[in-house]
Structure 1
Amino acid sequence: MTLAPATDLRTYNELDAVRGELLDVYAEVRAPLLHLPNYAVTAFGERLDRHGCEPGFVTVLAYAGDYPVGYAYGNRIEDGDRYWQRTSPAPSHDLTSHPALAVKEIGVRPAWRGTGTARQIHDTLLDGRDEQYATLMVNEAAGEGKVHALYRSWGYEDIGHSQPSPASPRLTVMVRPIR
């Protein structure tokens, strides 16, 4: 891994101020997959709008100057949330009995991959949260398994699988303590 280029990390709790920038970065990050219905920019925009209205929404964008180079966003989930209901096998009560931060998306433009930028964005997203756990879903095929391995190196452990929508691939649900 090379050293991360100088980036300015900015945190937002309102989607409106950065929605366009998130869509632009997403389109480049997911360019090879945009022909698939679940990965289309319009599908991402619909998910983003829904997530942006959910409790505890937060997004972090990394900028090189004024140019957005990566992002992550998530929101707070509680026991009984559809996120947990779609996880199989059902997660333990120890995980679901406390609010968790669901990291819904992480993306870094190709030129900034391998620089530590994704980790900086991720850690900033988790910084200062009062939830005990962070959880995310990953397509095990992403990056030929490298993305899944990366999340494991960040302390995430597999706990089950989920298919959030009929158009979505089967995803691995992962969790880690925030502190």
Structure 2
Amino acid sequence: MTGLQLTGPSSALELRAFTDLDTARGDLLDVYAEVRAPLLHLPNYAISSFGERLDRHGSEPGFEAVLAYEEEHPVGYAYGNKIEDGDRYWQRTSPAPDEAYTAGPALALKEVGVRPDWRGTGIARRMHDALLAGRPEPYVTLMVNKAVGDGKVHALYRSWGYEDIGFSQPSPASPRLTVMIRSTD
């Protein structure tokens, strides 16, 4: 775990990076429950479903999570892990991604979440950038539901330099998601 002090809208925030899921799992679940509260009744968004995905992602190579804390209260998170050519992530992407993106490892940004009171403060971008800092992978990819926030989340990722490269439906309970990618630079 490493720390980086940031100044938030009304108080100091600290970003903490974790490569061991066990250390951060409880805080990730707590923030997720509030971030996704309106959707928790849907099978794909249930806390138990997220916990299963989180455990799988946390055991995969290159796992890292960045959490933002106000004092000891977690207010947001971003996490991802390394994926290689042939990974189920790429296999489910249609059309097949350009070989330039899959020839080497990439960082798959699995989740970004910010508690409602902290949205619009730039903390999501700061966690995102901290997660990418120092990563060896040349590309970062993510999946987004274009309908979320009436398209605002998709537009936000586009403003961060991501471009659409295809679609994926990671599970039968999942909505169809847009796959996006950008350089880690």
User: What TM-score comes out, normalization by structure 1 length?
Assistant: 0.98
1:147 equivalent among 136, 149, 153: 153
1:123 shift after superposition: 0.3
1:11-47 residue CA offsets vs partner (Å, 9 max, x unmatched): 0000001101100000000000000000000000000
Match of 2:135 among 129, 137, 156: 129
SS of 1:145's partner is: helix
Q: What's the CA shift string for 1:114-141, capped at 9, x where partnerless?
A: 0000000000000000100000000001
The structure with higher relative contact order (CA 8 Å, sep 6+) is 1
- Aligned to 1:17, the other structure's residue is in SS state helix
From 80, 84, 91, the equivalent of 1:78 is 84
Give the TM-score taking structure 2 as reference length. 0.94
Partner in structure 2 of residue 176 of structure 1: 182
**Shift, 1:4, TM fit:** 3.6
2-structure distance, mates of 1:173, 1:19: 26
Structure 1 runs of 4+ with >4 Å offset: none
Q: Pick the aligned partner of 1:165 from 165, 171, 174.
A: 171
Q: Which residue of 1 aligns with 2:56?
A: 50
Cα separation, 1, equivalents of 2:80 and 2:158: 19
Pick one of 20, 25, 48 that aligns with 1:14.
20
Query: How far does residue 98 in structure 1 lie from its aligned partner after superposition?
Result: 1.2
Structure 1 unaligned blocks of 5 or more: none
The answer for the alignment partner of 1:138 in structure 2 is: 144
Structure 1 counterpart of 2:44? 38
- C-alpha separation between the residues in 1 aligned to 2:167 and 2:105? 19
1:81-96 alignment, distance < 5 Å: 81-96=87-102
Aligned to 2:3: none
- How many residue pairs match? The answer is 177
Q: Following the alignment from structure 1 to structure 2, what is the Cα–Cα distance between the partners of residues 94 and 167?
A: 30
Mapped partners of 1:133, 1:94: distance in 2: 10
Deviations 1:58-96 (A, max 9, x none): 000000010000001000000110000000000011110
Q: What is the CA RMSD across the aligned residues, in angstroms?
A: 0.8
